[in-house]
Structure 1
């Protein structure tokens, strides 16, 4: 009885910590909408191609390298990454590396010490602390931003690790979408990195040398950064804008009630809704958590596909022929209400067609989910769905 009483008290304290933290942070909710910009964008869907380009640009850096990732592993790909950063720091390039505390929890202290000894400035984002320890623990900086010499930027879904270049047999081919930005939009990525760096280190990066003059490119786009709570409405607005077609790609599909209602409303007014998710799961329960939503959407006429070629990790939304979103946001409650995210909204028909072509290629290697399949789920699968539904806000 004493043990049970202690467990109940601990759970009650965790619940209270979570609710008080949520109340406190709701008052600090923030949405940073950067101006519409013109830049040249390169679109990557393959980790090998991305990192070949990414490492080549880092090698050419002469002034500074600013990097933020959610996950950085300690495998052979990561070692190449660390060695390259050390080399640049030793050459006199200012290197700042910011990683999420939970996402990159496995980084050894010895490794971090060696990075700092080589001249790299290293910091953890969203490191939990009191008060509201458990609530802070549940909030993540999920952004992936790189800025090189203030002139070249990267943003998207890839992290640093062997699975992202298809070298993990558990996942096979890794499908993700990432952008390289050259042009005036890079200044906004730099500004967002500076904001995140200051939050993590309480140190400002304000020198003009980090913000060189930038030329306009050919593609109209806009960055929007969120720290929970305000992203839900942005996605609802996009769904409501769709007149003919809406495509959603995400590794996780756990929408809020309001977002779900917006999707059902879009279907009711004749919008073709296509959803692409992975067949495999990389986290416990996230796959099962999506099925109750899938059932309602399938009944309403949505088309749902599961990518079987490897693991689908892209985060994208395409609205008709006019606009698409590529960024770090998953289509789930964690991204909507907890994580720090950044998205790039692209308003260019030619680029949208390029994204749609990549999606069509991924759909060709996916299987449709049907109501008949859903009805034949086993008792074990239904049980996992029930548990997943209870945990959906934290998955």
Structure 2
């Protein structure tokens, strides 16, 4: 028995050292990437059906090249429809590159991968776990969702590909998410980021191919694309919160901020900013709901409002500040997005578009239950124990 526990202790220590060293060397080699302010026409999708209808239409009508990166593509009917579309276009001599996260899309079968390649789709997994820091690399995921069609139409946001995003998972119900369609100058930045991720995964450098960057006319919405790599995201969020004068609305499926970021929210409330946080009532992963609850009491004590969305599952990643600046993308308001995942967000400063996003969030609040002190004080002992455990592992949730 003593040997057994010694082995467990050695494994535990090795995992901690692996993670710490992996994180250390990752930070050392990461450089901050930034894209300039652009002008594009931007459309908002909050249901999977409308997004898929639009995206699939663009794929069907692609003439030259299709570049797509998702964190998750499932093994189900809608995923197969999506993959069949890509295979059909590849057979029509359209260049198709499909990049998927190795862990997020683990359910994609070897048979389907071979079918994709046989049809002419250029396929690769990214962020494949590897030595010497296997524990860290398993957790360092590419969480981005990027689609670029003919270099002219781009998509970025919270949706992946699977039946649950159409509301077809009975445990989660209707799926609420925020996703953007971008046409205009900003597409070149989505294209650049995709090709950088593609190069890292495949060693193929297509960044200098002008065919992937057709000339784009400016649109009406001012914005900038912001990629992060397990670093820099905390600074982005803190800058947004520090700039708030009257109102912050945060929508996120996983509210597990760092201490520094959480303190900025409390400081904003202290200086009179109205803070609203929307989270889901249901959970799609173990312990993430429990990990958020310990933050609720300090928020309520500071005068903030917390809402639990009950009309299905709330997966949106969105921040609106003062009705003047809006952040929508792939990054959750949690430690995994802050310190592990590679993410991509879009910061928008166009007031009419932000008004649309804000109105959508207010409708989401209408379908939410407001968290009260009574709710927090009446939690069971089992619930509180789950929360303690969730806090211990919150960096990896």
CA-to-partner distance for each residue in 1:309-336, whole Å, 9 max, x for gaps?
1000000000002110000010001100
The aligned counterpart of 1:230 is 232
CA distance in 2, matches of 1:16, 1:116: 38
Report the secondary structure of 1:345's partner residue.
Answer: strand
Matches within 5 A, 1:46-57: 46-57=47-58
CA distance in 1, matches of 2:292, 2:120: 45
CA distance in 2, matches of 1:51, 1:229: 31
The aligned counterpart of 1:244 is 246
Matches within 5 A, 1:290-309: 290-309=292-311
Report the secondary structure of 1:31's partner residue.
Answer: coil
CA-to-partner distance for each residue in 1:145-193, whole Å, 9 max, x for gaps?
0000000000000000000011111111000000000001100000000
The aligned counterpart of 2:379 is 377
The aligned counterpart of 1:257 is 259
CA distance in 1, matches of 2:69, 2:351: 30
In 2, are the aligned partners of 1:30 and 1:226 still within 8 Å (CA)? Answer: no
341, 353, 356: which one pairs with 1:354? Answer: 356
Structure 1 runs (4+) deviating above 4 angstroms are none
CA distance in 1, matches of 2:351, 2:128: 40
Matches within 5 A, 1:180-329: 180-205=181-206, 206-329=208-331
In 2, are the aligned partners of 1:31 and 1:224 still within 8 Å (CA)? Answer: no
CA distance in 2, matches of 1:262, 1:29: 25
Report the secondary structure of 1:67's partner residue.
Answer: strand
In 2, are the aligned partners of 1:247 and 1:317 still within 8 Å (CA)? Answer: yes
Matches within 5 A, 1:1-395: 1-205=2-206, 206-395=208-397
CA distance in 2, matches of 1:393, 1:61: 40
CA distance in 1, matches of 2:303, 2:109: 49
Aligned length: 395
In 2, are the aligned partners of 1:43 and 1:180 still within 8 Å (CA)? Answer: yes
Report the secondary structure of 1:180's partner residue.
Answer: strand
8-17 or 63-72: bigger deviation:
8-17
TM-score, length-scaled by structure 2: 0.99
Residue 55 of structure 1: CA displacement? 0.3
CA distance in 1, matches of 2:182, 2:35: 15
5+ residue gaps, structure 1, are none
In 2, are the aligned partners of 1:307 and 1:365 still within 8 Å (CA)? Answer: yes
CA distance in 1, matches of 2:231, 2:22: 13
CA distance in 2, matches of 1:63, 1:270: 52
The two structures, once aligned, show a CA RMSD in angstroms of: 0.7
In 2, are the aligned partners of 1:30 and 1:228 still within 8 Å (CA)? Answer: no
CA distance in 2, matches of 1:19, 1:105: 25
CA-to-partner distance for each residue in 1:210-249, whole Å, 9 max, x for gaps?
1111110000000010101211011111100000000000
CA distance in 1, matches of 2:25, 2:8: 26
Report the secondary structure of 1:359's partner residue.
Answer: helix
